[in-house]
Amino acid sequence: MHKTWGGRFREDTDQRVEEFTESISFDQRLYAQDIAASIAHARMLAKVGLLTADEADAIVQTLEAIRAEIETGRFPFRTKLEDIHTHIEHALIERLGDVGRKLHTGRSRNDQIATDMKLWTREAIDTIGRLVRDTQRALIEAAERNADLILPGYTHLQRAQPVLAAHYFLAYVEKLERDRTRLFDCRKRLDELPLGTAALAGTSLPIDREFVRQQLGFARLAANSLDVSSDRDFLLEFVFALSMIAVHLSGWAEEWILWSTVEFGFLDLPDAFCTGSSIMPHKKNPDVLELIRGKSARVVGDLQRLLVLVKGLPLAYNRDLQEDKQAVFDAFDTVAACLQLAAPLIQAVRFRREAIAQRLDDGFLDATTLMEYLIQLGMPMRSAHEAVGKLVRRCEERRCRLADLPPEEYEAIRPGLSSGVYQIVGVQNALRAFRSLGSTGPEQVAAQLRRWRERLDQDVGI
């Protein structure tokens, strides 16, 4: 049993309190960041004369030895030592005595944990950014493999207009790009060094925060010590960005779950990413996609947990903030796992081209293009909308396509219409008619594919 820090307390900490307040069970994953920040802090203390050069060298060497022990699983973690900071400092004192006791000079666990979490989050953002890029590359490759494939596009889960499969894949490339920009915007904002602001008010000791900033590679110094102790904005922003990735992956997973059903029959999911049934021998269940969809709820829940956690906390540090780490770690781990499966699944899936083609004319995907053709001929939009709606109703009564209607049906709408309308109706004709920037027109999609391929080949940063 140990007493709480300092000589203020007469009694040992109650074991139940130790168990209730410990965070080492989850914050031990911050060991590398804690040691890196401690090494920079030790070198700074030597620079300003608060440690001798020999003392700083001894501290640095011992910290590196502790890091090696943790990495090889030889370092003991104990609940009574509470958190990662205390474990490392305790080990340092055990090995160096009073020299080890000097390391905490000019800092607090408040600015220490803020620094550790910023260092960790920077690395986590870079990791997620790379995984998002991998998924974007898989989407571009799928778009190139299926460049000529036409799919029905949907609104309200009802067939709407034809789209190229490449256009579909590019839509998710764009969504993931927004996700990457959110991540790296977050990275820019969090890139401020907290260390050296101490508990809440700074320190009277002659520390050099700028030196530590350079050692740890931060872009700026955090400007307000009160803000540092309470600031978890960067974690909320990071988990929000993760939540958006999770939501985008969930929507994609839902589509492919539907598309893999007999009712849709659009695609074959790879066996390696599906499972069987314990009782029905014919089943091929899209469990990976269902779990990606389901795990998005965890990430959104982690964000809500953080928002509620910080709501109403007074300045500066409060122990409530210990509870932020599990939510952040869980959101990161969950999204990373989903992205690691998304890219290879996209690479392995195959579309059922014949099945898609057999039903492509169902649902009047060319109706809107026909309406726009009438508009180009001078008919007011609402009149054209009504006229095509009546044609669709006739087709439904006759169980035929717009392309199957006889010329007199079109002549009744506008004399001379039948001379050009059969070059407009039909899915292939409708698709070729798209021309607006960002549309699913073949030329537009090809240009977008080239742009994205060049961008990803160059790996243009944000």
* Tens-digit pLDDT profile for residues 72-83: 999 999 998 999
CA dist., res. 460 & res. 29, Å (int): 31
Contacting residues for 112 by C-beta, under 8 A, at least 6 apart: 34, 37, 85, 195
pLDDT over 90 for what percent of the chain?
92
What is the residue-averaged pLDDT of the chain? 95
pLDDT band of 460, cuts 50, 70, 90: low
Residue 183 has pLDDT above 70, yes or no: yes
Q: DSSP assignment of 56-110, as one string?
A: HHHHHHHHHHHHHHHHTT-S---GGG-SHHHHHHHHHHHHHTHHHHTTTTT--HH
> Which ranges in 359-458 belong to alpha helices (H)?
367-376, 381-398, 407-413, 418-421, 427-433, 442-458
Superfamily (CATH H level) for 110-357: Fumarase/aspartase (Central domain) (1.20.200.10)
CA dist., res. 356 & res. 359, Å (int): 6
Superfamily (CATH H level) for 15-105: Fumarase/aspartase (N-terminal domain) (1.10.275.10)
Q: What positions carry a catalytic annotation?
A: 156, 277
Inter-residue contact 84 to 32 (CB < 8 Å): no
Q: DSSP assignment of 330-344, as one string?
A: HHHHHHHHHHHHHHH
pLDDT value, residue 245: 98
Residue 398 has pLDDT above 50, yes or no: yes
Amino acid at 40: A
CA 86 from centre of chain: 32
pLDDT band of 19, cuts 50, 70, 90: confident
pLDDT (mean) for 162-186: 98
Q: pLDDT tens across 20-45, in order?
A: 888 999 999 999 999 999 999 999 99
Q: Where in the chain is the domain with CATH 1.20.200.10?
A: 110-357
User: Which token pair is 57?
Assistant: 């060298």
pLDDT band of 11, cuts 50, 70, 90: confident
pLDDT value, residue 112: 96
Inter-residue contact 113 to 82 (CB < 8 Å): no
CA dist., res. 65 & res. 59, Å (int): 10
CA dist., res. 446 & res. 434, Å (int): 13
Beta bridge partners of 193: 221
Inter-residue contact 142 to 342 (CB < 8 Å): no
pLDDT band of 461, cuts 50, 70, 90: low
pLDDT value, residue 6: 61
Q: pLDDT tens across 320-367, in order?
A: 999 999 999 999 999 999 999 999 999 999 999 999 999 999 999 999
CA dist., res. 116 & res. 36, Å (int): 9
Threshold 0.85, pTM exceeds: yes
CA dist., res. 88 & res. 346, Å (int): 43
pLDDT (mean) for 204-225: 97
Residues 315/317/321/325 CA torsion (nearest 10 deg): 120
Inter-residue contact 277 to 162 (CB < 8 Å): no
Residues 225-258 as b or e (16 or more Cβ within 10 Å = b): bebbbbbbebbbbbbbbbbbbbbbbbebbebbbb
Q: Where in the chain is the domain with CATH 1.10.40.30?
A: 367-458
CA dist., res. 371 & res. 380, Å (int): 10
Main-chain phi, psi angles of 153, to 5 degrees: -90, 150
pLDDT value, residue 459: 80
Q: Where in the chain is the domain with CATH 1.10.275.10?
A: 15-105
Burial category of 349 from C-beta neighbours within 10 Å (exposed 0-12, middle 13-18, buried 19 and up): buried
CA dist., res. 339 & res. 289, Å (int): 11
Q: Which CATH number fits domain 367-458: 3.40.50.300, 3.40.50.10190, 3.40.50.720, 1.10.40.30?
A: 1.10.40.30
Residue 172 has pLDDT above 90, yes or no: yes
pLDDT value, residue 368: 97
pLDDT over 70 for what percent of the chain?
98
Residue 462 has pLDDT above 70, yes or no: no
pLDDT value, residue 1: 38
* DSSP, res 380: -
Residue 62 has pLDDT above 50, yes or no: yes
Residue 99 has pLDDT above 50, yes or no: yes
